[in-house]
Homo-oligomer: A and B are copies of this chain.
Amino acid sequence: MYRTNTCGELRLTNLDKKTTLAGWVQKARKFGGMIFVDLRDRYGITQLVFNQETNAALCEQAAKLGREWLIQVHGIVAERSNKNPNLPTGDIEIIVSELQILNPAETPPFTIEDESDGGDDLRMKYRYLDLRRNPVRANLELRHAMAFATRSYLNEQKFMEIETPVLVSSTPEGARDFVVPSRLHEGQFYALPQSPQLFKQLLMVSGFDRYFQIVKCFRDEDLRADRQPEFTQIDCEMSFVEQEDILNIFEGLTKYLFKTIKGIDIPDLPRMSYADAMRLYGSDKPDTRFGMQFVEIKDLTEGKGFGVFDSAEYVAAISAEGCAGYTRKQLDELTEFVKRQQIGAKGLIYVRYEADGSIKSSVDKFYTPEELKTWLDRANAQPGDLLLILCGETEKTQKQLCELRLEIGSRLGLRDKNQFNCLWVVDFPLLEFDEELNRYFAKHHPFTSPKIEDSPLLDTNPGAVRANAYDMVINGVEVGGGSIRIFNSELQQKMFTTLGFTKEQAQAQFGFLMNAFKYGAPPHGGIAFGLDRLVSIFAGLDSIRDCIAFPKNNAGRDVMIDAPSAIAPEQLKELHLKLE
């Protein structure tokens, strides 16, 4: 028996109890004739006391302890004279009578504290030490709790967790697959799944009715800060449902998670059409923690000789509350911000609605105060507010204005990590046209069902067809998305035709699914949540990496175990492969 109690457990009620603790030395300090040691484990920190007067030999031993040494102590719970109200165990300390060093430690390459002095690279190389830090451990505890709560909710709702294979076959549609060469089948490869999409639809054909799986998925993409080559989905599918049924069940899951994990009652989720989301926020994942919706003012600006607006397809404004006092420098910063290459605006127009009611603007050469006032009124601006205006091609400008709105929101402190605004974005377009390749692509995936009322348009105006597709958005992040699927093999064939597949191509790539649909496939639909993103939002993290135990770096590399790495020539030979 290595311990009778954990380091987070003992209280004043345990006074005079004989106890055995084991844990890591967080720090040790000498004070008078005493040595105080903070002993740490997963559950907390408990203070140990070694007294020079009562046990000099023991004290001498304790004096040698270094940070992160693993020790075991026997002792008695005593009341602290100098209590620490920040620590759950802060009312007590352990008077140590016996000390055993279980494992000494070399000096760690960075400090194991809430705020570490280790850089990203060092912390990743020694991830096993980084994981000792409280905030990192708390993230993984949160992740476990969220996954467990998700399973409890879905099990209660009669969902079955069914494992789908990891060694599957490569599908050319979509992102790039990771592949696994087969030793037994020369020249052939498995692929790692980007999602269990086909399998969960087949499970519906099998009659499983309510399926879920918390499952690893894989994409061989060039990585950005918020992408990992392997990531985890809460993957779900239901039969005999319409869109409404799915939204209700998974709105329920979201409420359940906020309630059980964070103790927050979130209200019913508002629903916003894709068209409204683009019109009001310039994004299909609007951050609705704050207003500052777009206001189109093209009609109010025309014919006054300002060519930039007159020639623009789209002119729109946001009203930044209380920002009329922004200095020249602040305005220049914002202009630089929107002109950055990643955003790409040509410039920024402002109208100051001063506190005294007067109006100043970067375009007051062209517009009278009365004219400017009509812009302010449409944006519902109040004295003290600042109107910021972008113009240009509609979609591009909406995206630019979206970035500006988020930037202003951040500057104004309107994007509080402890506030959670959830909504459904619905009525996505079914298809996207790719100008370069001159063909339509499925916006969601090729199995998404068009809205029945729009399906006649598939022949005449495919771009206008809306899908039975939906995303859940929290604080401007898409945490989940899904759709009602096509369950009829003719409609599925028609969809492939619209996407430019020949009958043969469709048959070769998705033949077994279309074949399955011939045996009484039920109406079905589903959704997948990104667990990594969901956890990082609950944790208030900027990157999904911080809620993954052993993440890859931006080059897709695990620097701790040094993966990927070279393999033995015999191994290559067995796989019938040569390096180029």
Contact = CB atoms under 8 A, between A and B. Distances in A.
Closest 7 CB pairs of A and B: A131-B206, A169-B563, A105-B520, A188-B564, A70-B520, A2-B240, A182-B564
Given A144-B160, A523-B2, A563 B167 contact: yes
Given A144-B162, A167-B552, A188-B565, 6 more contacts: A70-B520, A103-B517, A104-B520, A105-B520, A165-B552, A169-B565
A14 to B, nearest CB: 19
A129 interface: yes
Contacts of A560: 202, 512
Contacts of A330: none
A565 B188 CA distance: 5
Interface stretch (A47-55, A172-180, A254-262): A172-180
B241 A558 contact: no
Contact of A567 (B41, B102, B189): B189
A575 interface: yes
A571 B185 contact: no
13 contacts: A1-B245, A103-B488, A128-B516, A129-B519, A140-B160, A144-B160, A144-B162, A163-B549, A166-B230, A170-B567, A178-B180, A180-B564, A183-B220
A69 interface: yes
Interface in A137-161: 137, 140-141, 143-144, 147-148, 151, 155, 160-161
Contacts of A446: none
A529 to B, nearest CB: 15
A179 B183 CA distance: 10
A522 B164 contact: no
A556 interface: yes
A557 interface: yes
B170 A565 contact: yes
A206 B488 contact: no
Interface stretch (A191-199, A277-285, A333-341, A393-401): A191-199
B519 A106 contact: yes
Interface in A536-580: 548-550, 552, 555-558, 560-568, 571, 573-580
A41 to B, nearest CB: 6
Given A180-B192, A563-B169, A207 B161 contact: no
Contacts of A216: 163, 166, 216
Contacts of A472: none
A417 interface: no
A105 B567 contact: no
Contact of A179 (B22, B163, B571): B571
Nearest to A6: B209
A458 interface: no
From A167, A183, A205, residue with most partner B Cβ within 10 Å: A167
A564 B557 CA distance: 26
Given A24-B207, A522-B102, A561-B169, A580 B573 contact: yes
A552 B165 CA distance: 9
B241 A203 contact: no
A187 interface: yes
B566 A188 contact: yes
Interface in A337-372: none
A482 interface: no
Contact of A180 (B102, B179, B206, B518): B179
A556 B179 contact: no
Interface string A216-243: 1010101000000110100000001110
A202 B128 CA distance: 6
A108 interface: yes
A180 B202 CA distance: 27
A95 interface: no
A558 B189 CA distance: 12
Nearest to A561: B169
A324 interface: no
Nearest to A101: B520
Given A192-B180, A208-B42, A523-B102, A563 B163 contact: no
A3 interface: yes
A168 interface: yes
A229 to B, nearest CB: 6
Given A180-B179, A562-B169, A550 B199 contact: yes
A40 B202 CA distance: 17
A562 B24 CA distance: 52
A144 B155 CA distance: 9
Nearest to A578: B578
Given A140-B162, A148-B161, A488-B103, A183 B172 contact: no
A191 B572 CA distance: 13
Given A162-B140, A189-B564, A563-B191, A181 B184 contact: no
